[in-house]
Amino acid sequence: MRFTVLGYQSPYPGPDGATPGYLVETDEVRLLIDCGSGVLAQAGKHLPIYELDVLLLSHYHHDHIADIGVLQYGLMVHQLFGQRPADRPLPIYAPEAPAQNVQALTYRDATCFYPINEQTSLTIGDVTVTFLRTDHGDGDPCFAMRLESKGRVIVYGADSGPGTNWAAFAQGADLFICEGTYLDHNKPQKPNGHLSVRDAAELAESLSCGSLLITHLFHGYEEADVVAQAEAYQSGTCYVARIGLQIDLTTQKG
């Protein structure tokens, strides 16, 4: 699997930035994970969007879904132009609530909604995907994702507070993609459904993950500050998200 950061910022994109969106490519399939503000413009640097096979959505907060409307328009036009078959809507796998968000995911022949929950196991080409509900939000579900292909494991942590039970789901993942929404100086006193950079590092270390990618960062953070606060993670390589960063799990040693 090759993993590419298309967007990583939150809650809104900085100049030339993008909020969460990630591309996973194998020999057989191309998966988009989340589709935040500015993600489509970045995706076009790597592939024509009509070649996407699947969109996986963690939850419906704006920073993760802002570009879905224009993705639907784009696919509709590519179908009109004959670049994508009209009978091949893009499957969007996403949580079943809130209902008004679910409704918006099926659009003409362009996209089609399929529900996910913790019992869902998807096989998409040579990738299997399972889901874990995270401690996030105001009652509506948010799902982390575990992607496995050819013996390699990527866990995308989505948005998550400290109450998520990662043990069985993320233990020993080759790549753990974990949010680091806060630096120490702006971490709220009470948990509010997010983690700090330090939390992410401690988590990845305790789960013995082969590598860590810290994401969901405020666009004004300095990379050096993020790296400095990730010192608890010592098991392997620590990446800090930036647009265009690629991690190749076929060559990386776990």
Decide whether 114 or 218 has the Cβ nearer to Zn ion: 218
Can you tell me which of 21, 32, 33, 63 binds Zn ion, judged by CB under 5 A?
63
Least Cβ distance, residue 159 to Zn ion (angstroms): 4
Q: Does 34 bind Zn ion (CB under 5 A)?
A: no
Least Cβ distance, residue 195 to Zn ion (angstroms): 11
Q: Does 159 bind Zn ion (CB under 5 A)?
A: yes
- Using CB under 5 A as the binding rule, the residues of this chain from 42 to 61 that contact Zn ion are 61
Can you tell me which of 1, 3, 9, 10 binds Zn ion, judged by CB under 5 A?
10
Decide whether 61 or 84 has the Cβ nearer to Zn ion: 61
Binding residues for Zn ion, how many (CB under 5 A)? 4
- Name the residue with tokens 């996030």: 136
Q: What six digits make up the tokens of 198? A: 């330090």
Q: Does 101 bind Zn ion (CB under 5 A)?
A: no
Least Cβ distance, residue 109 to Zn ion (angstroms): 30
Decide whether 66 or 129 has the Cβ nearer to Zn ion: 66
Decide whether 10 or 72 has the Cβ nearer to Zn ion: 10
Decide whether 76 or 142 has the Cβ nearer to Zn ion: 142
Which spans of this chain sit near Zn ion (rule: CB under 5 A)? 10, 61, 63, 159
